[in-house]
Amino acid sequence: MQKGAMKRMGCIAVVLLALMILCLGCASSAGKASGLEGHWVDVNGKTTLDIFGDQCTVTYGDWSKTFQFRIQTSGDSTYLVNPDKNLHDFGMMTEIHVRDDGSLEASEIVFDTDPHRYRFVREDRLAKELEIQDLSKDAPKTIESKEIQQFSLVFRNYGGSYGLPPEWQSGHYSWEIEQRDGTYRMSFRIMGDSYIVMDFNQEVSAEYVAGLAQLLEAQGVIQYNGYYKKNNVHRPGYSLYVKYASKELLHVHADGDAAKSCVFDLVPLLEYAAKQPLPKRP
């Protein structure tokens, strides 16, 4: 009898402990949810969120829908998720990630194109998010070396960005040159939303790379060494990185709205890239 009673008491204790953990978890989730209540605006667009209790109202233009959500944690990350698996998480948005900087982030649910990136902040933070930050570093404005060991130019062309003529199609551009074992290899790739526009990967001559170094000097790109400006708008930036044989570095970078224009002229650089027998563009 005594053993049976102890066994029952043990089972009861386990059940009570489980209920306690569940209640603590619910209380913790409720606390996190209450800290998110209020009006949120998208830094990258016109969508808004209004969160009250366990309800999240998503509004875009004339469209508005209220969703129920629950708090879900994974490791150190916290998410708002829709418990109704028959619906998209939140309209055209995925689960909403609660970031450490106080913002809420989600991705658009689309295929075969770049998804919209949602970044929600409190309305009184919007101006700060849009403000261009100058994170430039003091870097040498002259380069003694004439020999490039590594070159990288990355940017996004939105159909004529940076003054590019129509023959340069829209897409993500990546131009890389690297010296290995005394030879240079160059890759030049243009990626569309879901397809490859161009993919070049071949050895190039030392004379060709030397000509690129001369062009960078003639264009005065080195005067922008250390340049870096950005804001928190999700817009692909541009980046130019060059490493010389002398270990000198050239780095010019911009992100977000700061990348709407480029401080150096991209057109002559692409014209120089085209001196290689690049594949014909469709």
One of 2.40.160, 2.40.128, 1.10.3470, 2.60.40 is the CATH number of 36-130, namely 2.40.128
DSSP label at residue 223: G
Query: Taking residues 141-150, what's their average pLDDT?
Result: 96
Going along the chain, which residue ranges are E strands?
Answer: 38-42, 48-52, 55-60, 63-68, 70-74, 77-81, 96-98, 104-107, 117-122, 133-134, 148-157, 171-180, 183-191, 196-204, 228-230, 238-244, 249-254
**14, pLDDT greater than 70:** no
DSSP 68: E
CA distance 209 to 149: 9
Q: What is the rounded average pLDDT of the residues 167-191?
A: 94
Kindly indicate the confidence band of residue 19, based on its pLDDT and cuts at 50, 70 and 90: very low
What is the distance between the alpha carbons of residues 280 and 159, in angstroms, rounded to a whole number?
18
Least confident window among 64-78, 109-123, 164-178, 243-257: 109-123
CA–CA dist 51, 121 (Å, integer): 12
> Environment class of residue 108 by beta-carbon count within 10 Å: exposed (0-12), middle (13-18) or buried (19+)?
middle
Asked whether residue 29 carries a pLDDT value surpassing 80, the answer given is no
- Sign, CA torsion 254/259/261/267: positive
The pLDDT, as a whole number, for residue 172 is 95
pTM above 0.75, yes or no: yes
pLDDT of 229 above 70 = yes
Which residues make up the CATH 2.40.128 domain(s) of the chain? 36-130
Residue 246 has pLDDT above 50, yes or no: yes
